[in-house]
Amino acid sequence: MAETHQDTRLLAADAEGIEQAAQFLRQGALVAFPTETVYGLGADACNGEAVARIFAAKDRPQFNPLIVHVADADAAQRYAEWNDLADRLAAVFWPGPLTLVLPLRAGGGLSPLVSAGQPSVALRAPDHPVGAALLAAFGGPIAAPSANPSGRISPTRAAHVVAGLSGRIAGIIDGGACPVGVESTIVGLGDVPTLLRPGGLPAEAIEAALGVSLAAPVAGAALTSPGQLSSHYAPRAGMRLNAREARAGEVLLGFGPEVRGDQTLSASGDLTEAAAQLFDMLHALDAGGAEIIAVAPIPETGLGRAINDRLRRAAAPRGV
């Protein structure tokens, strides 16, 4: 990946280290921090370019949606369409290793890249003094996947994060070993409560609190794990990739100095900016009622791989 090298500061888990980490987040930079499950790689969830940097730092070839970390259920309700089941589970298990997937609330201010353009959002309040202090100091939602390079094991110590991501992120708060050591349990709270990922909180405990058993995920249903369907969340319009100009009846999504479009992902050809704009612009062009959205060629390097992955899915035959 052609990301420029940066000095990664190892920060102490004290007031000064946490304030420095919050400062990095405000600047749109990335900070790894401990939670009770694993170390998270945090970015300001409302800043699209900061969120795009997560995918670049992890060298992830796909935009999968990220968990948004919040202080508590009150904060979560700014970003999700909250419901009674969420209320009950948050009252019993938050803060803790439980992530709730709920319909995204319009106007909440999260970057669409956080939810990979989907109409749902994953939220969790971590139960760790350092994670909680960082959320308080930053004062906003923190998007954070596990702080490991794509395809590697999740980190449970600061040294694991150093080994995997040093030189690619602004800072790492060293808060010692993570007590739970496996990722959070993820529950989808659409029409039917669904276990989307087993994790640090046993499913039985969740079922006991709800008084019903959790369903297994169904491919294609709302709020299931993404990326399983090649054409999920395709725009209504058809798509034509690697286009250098719009044909009759098409709108053009441009990239770089050579292909200016009706919307342009990045006029300068910056892939971080392009990733941050992708879902917003696809939605805007789709809402305009065009029959076909033609998309400029995007280089297959760095974040361009994830952008192209998502564009290919959007262009795949429908109903697959």
Per-residue buried b or exposed e for 198-209, using 16+ beta carbons within 10 Å of the residue's own CB: ebbbeeeebeeb
The residues that touch ligand TXA, with contacts defined as CB under 6 A, are 35, 37-38, 40, 64-67, 97, 99, 101, 115, 118, 120-122, 124, 126, 144-146, 183-184, 186, 196-197, 223, 225-226
54 binds, among ligand TXA, Mg ion, none (CB under 5 to 8 A by kind): none
Alpha carbons within 13 angstroms on the beta-carbon side of residue 305 total 12
Under the binding rule (CB under 5 A), the answer on residue 118 touching Mg ion is: no
Pairing status of strand 250-254 against strand 292-295: parallel
CA angle 29, 33, 38 (to 5 degrees): 130
121, interface contact from Mg ion, ligand TXA, none, CB < 5-8 Å by kind:
ligand TXA
- Tell me how far the alpha carbon of residue 149 is from its chain's centroid: 15
* Smallest separation (angstroms) from Mg ion to the CB of 32: 13
Give whichever of 151 and 289 is closer to Mg ion, judged by the CB atom.
Answer: 151
Q: Where are the beta strands (DSSP E) in the chain?
A: 9-12, 31-34, 39-44, 67-69, 98-103, 120-124, 142-143, 171-174, 185-189, 193-197, 238-240, 250-254, 263-264, 292-295
Q: Which of 47, 99, 146, 224 touches Mg ion (CB under 5 A)?
A: 146
The CA-to-CA distance between both ends of the chain, in Å, stands at 32
- 124 or 310, CB closer to ligand TXA? 124
Residue 184 binding: pick among Mg ion, ligand TXA, none (C-beta 5-8 Å cut-off by kind) = ligand TXA
User: What is the rounded CA–CA span in Å between residue 245 and residue 318?
Assistant: 24
Give kind and range of the element (H or E) at residue 218. Answer: none
> Min. distance of Cβ 5 from Mg ion in angstroms?
24
Nearer residue to Mg ion within complex by CB, 121 or 251: 121
Measured from the CB atom, is 128 or 305 closer to ligand TXA?
Answer: 128
Question: Are 184 and 200 within 8 A, CB to CB?
Answer: yes
Shortest distance, position 60 Cβ to Mg ion, whole Å: 10
Which lies closer to ligand TXA via its Cβ, residue 201 or residue 294? 201
Select from Mg ion, ligand TXA, none the partner in contact with residue 265, using the beta carbon and a kind-dependent cut-off of 5 to 8 Å.
none
Binding-site ranges for Mg ion (CB under 5 A): 146
